[in-house]
Amino acid sequence: MKKTLIALAAVAAVSAASAQVTLSGGVRAAMQNSGVAGAETIVSGNDVSVNNLTFTASEDIGGGMVITGSYTMRNNLMTGEVSSGQDATTVAAGNANWRNTSIQLSGPFGAVKAGRFGLSGLFAYDPFGATGAIATYASGAYSGGRYNNMIQYTTPNMSGFDAVLGVTIDGVAANEDGRWMILNFNQGPMSARIYSETGLGTVLTQYTTSGAGASYNLGVATAMVGYSTTKVQATSAATAEYYTIGGTVPFGSATAKIAYHRNTVASADTVAFGVDYALSKTSGLFADIAKLSANANPTWQIGIQKAF
């Protein structure tokens, strides 16, 4: 019964080469313990980045130009709730639904994108990324912001470089508009990013966060470094300053991950080690353990995930 996509293919076949809708997403769950003294081990959705459902429609309109529309919903696999990433004071009850929504026109000139969507931050330079109980960059500068009424321009790739410039334009005087500038370099084994973002984000204080990250694929391993700082704009007081070093090492279907992370403002550090094991190209197991200086006990998670 659940015959789904026949119809769409049939439609797509008769109508000219028009839109193509793709449905993607993922599910993830783990047994985990936060490491806080007395914390119970729980069954957790473990992260909201994998647990998503995304609808994307992309159309080549000729002249090297592509129009793309996208809706992404992030889900809590353990409660059935969605997380729109919006501050509770800014959304009408019952309406927050999509985490990322956008329309983009890309072409030889680069790409212009409007909507509400998450900025990339520096997660790409963290071996543990934005995932689960052990997210060494879990708070502060490494995690990019998300705003209403965004418009963003990305340059074409030039010798491995591209730049991203964006602002929010919402007409609300009480909001100081968000703005961001990102410089990316990706060529061969090398990847690097310089990142600067100013805005309200999901907290109602204007802040500026800036930093940089880099990774280099040595073949037997990929090394990663990063630095980031966040300051309250009104006072220039730093709320976080992170240093990170780490890497990943592939062993067949497995990938070992290691990271050391220090927040100088909180005088806190994290040492983390983990292994990802691929069950297929889109699914896998993971087992991670970390010691946060702030916690009495180790933080750990053992789980499974599947992207689709």
Binding residues for a second copy restricted to 107-126, rule: CB under 8 A: 114-116, 118, 120, 123-124
Spatial distance between the Cα atoms of 163 and 201, rounded to a whole number of angstroms? 21
Kindly tell me which residue out of 35, 54, 154, 198 binds a second copy, with binding defined by CB under 8 A. 54
Closest distance between a second copy and the C-beta of residue 59, in Å? 6
- H or E segment at 65? strand 65-74
Which of these ranges, 78-86, 198-206, 228-236, 254-262, lies near a second copy under the rule CB under 8 A?
Answer: 78-86
Does position 2 interact with a second copy (CB under 8 A)? The reply is yes
Q: Smallest gap, in angstroms, from Cβ of residue 272 to a second copy?
A: 18
Q: Give CA–CA dist 93/101, Å, rounded.
A: 19
If binding is defined by CB under 8 A, does position 101 make contact with a second copy?
yes
Per-residue string for binding with a second copy, 163-202, x by CB under 8 A?
A: -----xxxx-x-----------------------------
Cβ(197)–Cβ(145) under 8 Å? yes
89 in contact with a second copy (CB under 8 A): no
Of the listed pieces 54-62, 196-204, 206-214, 289-297, which binds a second copy according to CB under 8 A?
54-62
**Cβ partners under 8 Å of residue 122, min gap 6:** 137, 141, 142, 144, 193, 195, 211, 212, 213, 226, 228
Contact 73, 54 (CB under 8 A): yes
Please, what is the minimum distance in Å from the beta carbon of residue 90 to a second copy? 8
At 139, list the tokens: 């708070």
Kindly state whether residue 232 participates in binding a second copy, applying the rule CB under 8 A.
no
Query: Rounded distance, CA 66 to CA 60, Å?
Result: 4
